[in-house]
Amino acid sequence: MIIAVCSLSGAPGVTTLATALAAVWPTGPLTVPVLVEADASGGDLAAWHRLAGRPGLVSLAASVRAGTDLSLVQEPGTHGVLLRHGTELPGGLRAVTAPTTAHEASAVVAALAHRSQVLRSGVSVVDLGRVMPGTAGAHLLSLADVAVFTVAGGDAAQIHRLSRCRDVLDALAENGTAVGVAVRGSRFPAAEVSAVTGYPVWAEVPHDPAGAAFLRGEAFRPRGLRERFAAWSHARQDPETVDWMPLLACARRLANHVEDLPPAPVPLGHRAEVAA
């Protein structure tokens, strides 16, 4: 399954939401969710977690370009090739990180777009950043089983712009992709955003500095009374969960919703590129 997280106007929290979604995705013996940074403008994860020199999208692109790792794609449910080029982040999330600069990232994202079958061996949460027409990101978006479009809910212009791109969302849906919207910090009701864009709001992403810091690998201390109580309750009741953080709780609800979506009606091999 390919789950694309992206924006059509800026990138309001795309990487944060994609990271949270992959971090809380249910993991099983044959299901290891992998976060793939495929933002042609450059990635953030390597800088967040100080991963210079680690395997990532560059090594993956070189490998699939040469065809040396493509045999691993056939391993059912194992993400063999992605795990080989991924890095384990704190907390256990596996991530394939992109270079931090656009001139490096754009080339390897294009290489991935031409060997996109490597994303199909398990659950891939793909951070596409801002998707532009005719780009490698647009091609990867067209291949997704699920597309989550993020908008800044306090910006009426972004919501309007997404509504003006209705033909892009419709083309994806007609091609078998499940399409939904994630609204960050909305001052408009979800029903109103859905009515304007024509697509359901799957997530209302809260403002959660502690959760964002956790995903960036930063040390933090809950400061507010509510956060202190949540952290205390979390530590006493279930040390393994991160759902006391509103951002992670929202991501888990989104993951559960996406996992319960019906299968795409269009055969995966017959999907055509959508010009986003």
Q: Given this model, what pLDDT does residue 9 score?
A: 81
Within 10 angstroms of residue 102's Cβ, the number of other Cβ atoms is 14
- pLDDT, tens digit, 9 for 90 and up, residues 65-102: 766 555 444 444 446 788 888 888 877 889 999 999 99
Residue 196 token pair: 């304007």
pLDDT at 22 over 90: yes
pLDDT mean over 265-274:
47
Check pLDDT > 80 for residue 30.
no
For the chain, the average pLDDT equals 82
pLDDT digits (tens, 9 = 90+) for 114-149: 888 888 878 899 999 999 988 999 999 999 999 999
Looking at residue 122, its pLDDT comes to: 81
> Percent of the chain at pLDDT above 70?
79
pLDDT of residue 241: 61
| Band of pLDDT at residue 4, cut at 50, 70 and 90 | very high
Q: Which is higher by pLDDT, 172 or 157?
A: 172
For residue 270, the model assigns a pLDDT of 42
pTM of the shown model: 0.85
pLDDT of residue 214: 86
